[in-house]
Amino acid sequence: MSNIKKQPIRFILLFYLVCFVFRAVEYLVIRTDQSVIGEAFIHKLIGIALLAVALWLIKYKWSDIGLKAKSAIKGICFGLLFGLAVYAAAYGTEMLLQTSAGNMPALRFYVASYSTTGDSVIQSGIQFVLICVAGNIINVIMEEGIFRGLFIRLAEERYSFLKACIFSAVLFGVWHIAQPVRNVLDGVQSPGGAFMLGLMLVGTSALGGIQYALLYRLTGALWFGMAAHFVNNAIINLLHVATVSGADEMQSVRITIAQTLSFVVVLIVFTVKARKKALPGKTI
């Protein structure tokens, strides 16, 4: 246990590699997300189990990585409100743009798996909505618990929050290259196109990782970021803008608006509190 805390990066990289292997197996072999379930959830459940083992090895409590029961309800509620607010602005902007173009936009609620190649699978029925919600809950518990909770908490045993935040964000960015790699192997995307897509996903995911890390530091818990992360993922799959020429034609614009707005707001609040030295926890 003491060796892990003295050399946290080595343990983090080993843990990350093990999780990534399970992720690769599910994406490339099992392909649960291409089944009727529509969610790659197996490696995420395994990740949660591995997280529990890691906490036992390091002698951390769940509260030590930001999962504090007393702040759960408040953090989740405010996180959901924040996520919904930035996406309300994003959807509103998209609706105005589509209306000004004469495309007669309308909101539609159904399950569609977000595809980075532009394809999507539409499902109707409450069971698919529940699967989508459950899958995204599992996803945020695993990703926030590991990348923001375990990795940042452990890295801070030897390094500053800023270094731990950047390190965790880079790993989180690389975590999202599975889809472009599969696109190339399946022949649905050229290597050049997949490379550019991979760069975009790594960059945007890393920025998202920084945002959720800042929320973790601002609130002293994972709940706010976890709820905002859930909204970001779930709403893309559930709430759609239909026009006379199709659906979700400006989805990438909508996502960019929401993520940029949320990042800027979080960064401003974090900067103000940091200057006032009003942040919980260790020094930056």
The total domain count for the chain is 1
Residue range 158-190, pLDDT digits in tens? 999 999 999 999 999 999 999 899 999 999 899
Average pLDDT over residues 249-264: 94
Dist CA 92 CA 86 (whole Å): 10
159 found inside a domain: yes
pLDDT given at position 50: 98
- What is the percent of the chain with per-residue pLDDT over 90, rounded to a whole number? 81
42 found inside a domain: yes
Nearest by Cα to 255 from 107, 42, 94, 102:
94
pLDDT given at position 270: 96
193 found inside a domain: yes
Structure tokens at 233: 């993922």
280 found inside a domain: no
* Residue 39, domain extent: 2-275
282 found inside a domain: no
284 found inside a domain: no
Average pLDDT over residues 46-73: 96
**What is the model's pTM?**
0.91
What is the number of residues in the chain?
284
Residue range 186-203, pLDDT digits in tens? 998 999 999 999 999 999
Query: For residues 55-69, b (16+ Cβ closer than 10 Å) or e, as one string?
Result: beebebeeeebbbbe
Nearest by Cα to 279 from 160, 174, 192, 198:
160
281 found inside a domain: no
283 found inside a domain: no
Average pLDDT across the chain, whole number: 92
